[in-house]
Amino acid sequence: MPTQPRAWQRMLSGRRLDLLDPTPMDIEIEDIAHGLAFVARWNGQTKGDYAYSVAEHSILVEQIYSLIQPSAPVKWRLAALLHDAPEYVIGDMISPVKSAVGPGYGVLDERLTGAIHIRFGLPAALPVAVKKQIKKADKISAWLEATQIAGFTKSEADKLFGKPSPDAINGLCIHLRPPVSVRKDFTARYNSLQKNL
């Protein structure tokens, strides 16, 4: 009798997360921060001595979201910080690979997102308007990353991600740092937002 393939991962916290049936009880912010700090965006194809991590990207997206939605409630800022949280276990797949994989990746991502949101006091599915604004911040972040560290020209980035308004990117700069520093800042930002929920 064939055995079922293993669908869970052991986390450093000791939790065992079932990727096909995730429960909020098996999710810890420390595991998310650690995992995201070691997952490279752009498949690692960025300039610098350190990979640009999903944790660093998430901090930037939350910052941009707060700039474009200054009156947004703290819970939606937390949702912006956690917008890529499932990648702590499924990695960051670039868009062309997601297209090739098909809808299975999206289903897995949605399940994990729902469990993560519930674990941290957010609705499993975000309101459409909030999701759109977080996606807008995400695209602005991608534009900055593409032009500052991933070797894209501004015109290429404009076509792929949309041209951001100068106000949305004014003074924002990509910083490449060691994973331990990014992990610490991601956790600190989470704690700061949680305190104000």
Here the tokens at position 188 are: 């600190």
The per-residue pLDDT for range 163-193, each reduced to its tens digit, is 999 999 999 999 899 999 999 999 999 999 9
The per-residue pLDDT for range 110-165, each reduced to its tens digit, is 999 999 999 999 999 999 999 999 999 999 999 999 999 999 999 999 999 999 99
pTM higher than 0.85 for the full model?
Answer: yes
**Between 39 and 96, where is the model more confident?**
39
pLDDT at 126: 98
Asked whether the predicted pLDDT for residue 1 surpasses 70, the reply is: no
3 state DSSP class of 9: strand
pLDDT-derived band at 106, boundaries 50, 70, 90: confident
Domain ranges of the chain: 27-189
Q: Which superfamily is assigned to 27-189 in CATH? A: Hypothetical protein af1432 (1.10.3210.10)
3 state DSSP class of 17: strand
Given a contact cutoff of 8 angstroms between Cβ atoms, the answer to whether 134 and 126 are in contact is yes
Given a contact cutoff of 8 angstroms between Cβ atoms, the answer to whether 145 and 53 are in contact is no
